[in-house]
Amino acid sequence: MRETTPAAMPPCFERWCNRFDNCFKTKAQKNGFKQYIGGLLGESDRKNLTQMANNAVGVIYNRIHHFLTEAQWSRSEVNEQRLQLMDKCSQTRISKGFALIVDDSGHRKSGNFTDGVGRQYIGEIGKTDNGIVVVTTHLYDGTKSLPLDLEIYRKASDFEEGKKDPKFKKKPIIAIELIERSRDRGYRPSIVLIDGGYGNNSNFLKELEQKKLKYLGRVAKNRKVIINTEEAEVEIRLDEIAATLLADDLDLIELKLSKKKQVWVKTFTAKISSLEGERTFAIVMNASSLEAATDVDYLLTNVEESKATSQWIVNTYSQRNWVEVFYREAKGWLGFSEYQVRDIKSLHRHFILVFCAYTFIIWHKLTGGFRRRWANISLETFADALAAFRTAMSFRFFNWLTQNMDVFAAHKANFGFVWA
């Protein structure tokens, strides 16, 4: 049985979608936007175009396919409108001092006819496979976690001239462009959090410093640094420094996450041959010695030494986990990695529409609308808020269905049964 219909969506959904009307030129496009977002938020496990049409009364596959692939609308305008809506409410406003997280995320995709798909490293599975990778920026301010921008990474082999093609961009270049996009909006992050793919790129770090941005990121264990000893300057690998550390050299830090976690941290200043001046490094282990540790992170920051304490470094870098949480939610609940399109424009549109669906839930979670109307428990997580909205969807659909019993009869008739 179909699970919903656009005719019976909750009023809060209608009002929120209407705020995007200026991004679309026709009534058909406005309806397509509502139907696609509604399909992403629905209870079905699959969120591709076919399933969206099959799950909703009054949604026609050809129309939403046209909306996603052919209709004349701008995904950048929709994304800007999404962020402007967040800025218009005191509970959701994007204020100064947030952590800007740079990340790339991939997922498997079979075949070789979809733009951006090919053999490349897929972080989701931790190995090289056939799939697609996107570079994103994400914010976390201690209250909310929110995606900002996204671009699909395309390998050099996707272009006629390979790496010499002007359209080819490495991931760090894409990341810098996305950071600039946020700065152009007037967003002022207090720290940029990066993983090893960006922390090991000296040119990327130089770009951040030229823009007067503070960063904290992971670097490779074989990264060589220059430290001062009593005799002279010595160049040494980070893992070689870790091997010399004793328990007394380390600070014991307790991370207050959903589950308490203890880590042992050593901070020190050192130089990198490709950068001028000293930076603060941290070796973070889940045991008091390298031999006993099963998880070791090597971190680098350009934040002043007086602020970059062991406690600050591990607490701040732990905020990077919020982008991983977002992707688990977007892929698990909103069909981020499910689509039936092949061209780059339609793929980008799908991802931005997922951002819109996610932001709709976050906006109402922060403003308390779902809690007041559709739940008698506190909505602590995204999944809780989504469940409350789905309760609203199912309630409204049930009421609609009781007044349109011919729909149920027609559903049974399609299988050759008569309901009497």
Of the three residues 326, 357, 391, the one that is the final residue of a domain is 326
Q: Are residues 149 and 90 in the same domain?
A: yes
pLDDT at 411: 66
How far is CA 334 from each of CA 55, 102, 131, 331, 369, rounded to the nearest angstrom? 15, 21, 19, 6, 20
Residue found by looking up tokens 């992170």 in the block: 297
Residue 407 and residue 420: Cα distance in Å, rounded?
13
Do the strands 296-301 and 278-285 form a parallel or antiparallel pair, or are they unpaired? Answer: antiparallel
pLDDT at 406: 80
Q: Which residue in 254, 227, 234, 377 sits closest to 311, CA to CA?
A: 254
* Token pair in block for residue 248: 């007394």
Q: Are residues 68 and 96 in the same domain?
A: no
pLDDT at 281: 97
As for how many domains the chain has, the answer is 2
Could you tell me if residue 340 is inside a domain?
Answer: no
* Token pair in block for residue 293: 């540790």
Q: Which residue in 100, 211, 220 sits closest to 148, CA to CA?
A: 100
Could you tell me if residue 286 is inside a domain?
Answer: yes
pLDDT tens sequence across 299-345:
999 999 999 999 999 999 999 999 999 999 999 999 999 888 889 99
Neighbours of 120 (CB within 10 A): 17
- Assign residue 192 a region (left: φ > 0; alpha: ψ between -120 and 50; beta: otherwise): beta
Could you tell me if residue 333 is inside a domain?
Answer: no
Of the three residues 309, 326, 343, the one that is the final residue of a domain is 326
Q: How many residues would you count in the chain?
A: 420
The 3-class secondary structure across the chain, one letter per residue, is: CCCECHHHCCHHHHHHHHCCHHHCCCHHHHHHHHHHHHHHHCCCCCCCHHHHHHHECCCCHHHHHHHHHCCCCCHHHHHHHHHHHHHCCCCCCCCCCCEEEEEEEEEECCCCCCCCCEEEEECCCCEEEEEEEEEEEEEECCCCEEEEEEEEECCHHHCCCHHHCCCCCCHHHHHHHHHHHHHHCCCCCCEEEECHHHHCCHHHHHHHHHCCCCEEEECCCCCEEEEECCCCEEEEEHHHHHHCCCHHHCEEEEECCCCCEEEEEEEEEEECCCCCCEEEEEEEECCCCCCCCCCEEEEEECCCCCCCCHHHHHHHHHHHHHHHHHHHHHHHHCCCCCCCCCCHHHHHHHHHHHHHHHHHHHHHHHHCHHHHHHCCCCCCCHHHHHHHHHHHHHHHHHHHHHCCHHHHHHHHHCCCCCCC
Q: Are residues 194 and 221 in the same domain?
A: yes
Q: Are residues 113 and 69 in the same domain?
A: no
Could you tell me if residue 352 is inside a domain?
Answer: no
Residue 354 and residue 192: Cα distance in Å, rounded?
24
Q: Are residues 148 and 257 in the same domain?
A: yes
Residue 39 and residue 41: Cα distance in Å, rounded?
5
Residue 416 and residue 420: Cα distance in Å, rounded?
13
Q: Are 345 and 337 in contact (CB under 8 A)?
A: no
Could you tell me if residue 234 is inside a domain?
Answer: yes
Could you tell me if residue 319 is inside a domain?
Answer: yes
Within 13 Å of residue 95, how many CA atoms lie on the same side as its CB?
10
Q: Are residues 20 and 69 in the same domain?
A: yes
Q: Are residues 48 and 129 in the same domain?
A: no
* Token pair in block for residue 365: 């979670």
**Low-confidence residues in the chain, pLDDT < 70:** 1, 411-412, 414-415, 418-420
Q: Are residues 65 and 10 in the same domain?
A: yes
Q: What residues does 162 pair with on adjacent strands? A: none
Residue 216 and residue 321: Cα distance in Å, rounded?
14
CATH no. for residue 248?
Answer: 3.90.350.10
From first CA to last CA, the distance across the chain in angstroms is 17
Q: Are residues 16 and 106 in the same domain?
A: no
Residue type, 320: R
Of the three residues 270, 295, 326, the one that is the final residue of a domain is 326
Q: Are residues 155 and 104 in the same domain?
A: yes
pLDDT at 415: 65
Residue 175 and residue 211: Cα distance in Å, rounded?
13
Listed as own residue / partner, the contacts of 164-172 with beta carbons closer than 8 Å and 24 or more positions apart are: 171/104, 171/133, 171/135, 171/197, 171/198, 172/197, 172/198, 172/201, 172/203, 172/204, 172/207
| Full-model pTM | 0.93
Q: Are residues 260 and 383 in the same domain?
A: no
Q: What residues does 236 pair with on adjacent strands? A: 225
Could you tell me if residue 353 is inside a domain?
Answer: no
Could you tell me if residue 362 is inside a domain?
Answer: no
pLDDT at 160: 86
- Give the residue numbers spanning the domain of 181: 82-326
Residue 145 and residue 148: Cα distance in Å, rounded?
10
Residue type, 211: K
Residue 65 and residue 53: Cα distance in Å, rounded?
10
Q: Are residues 194 and 264 in the same domain?
A: yes
Q: What residues does 129 pair with on adjacent strands? A: 120
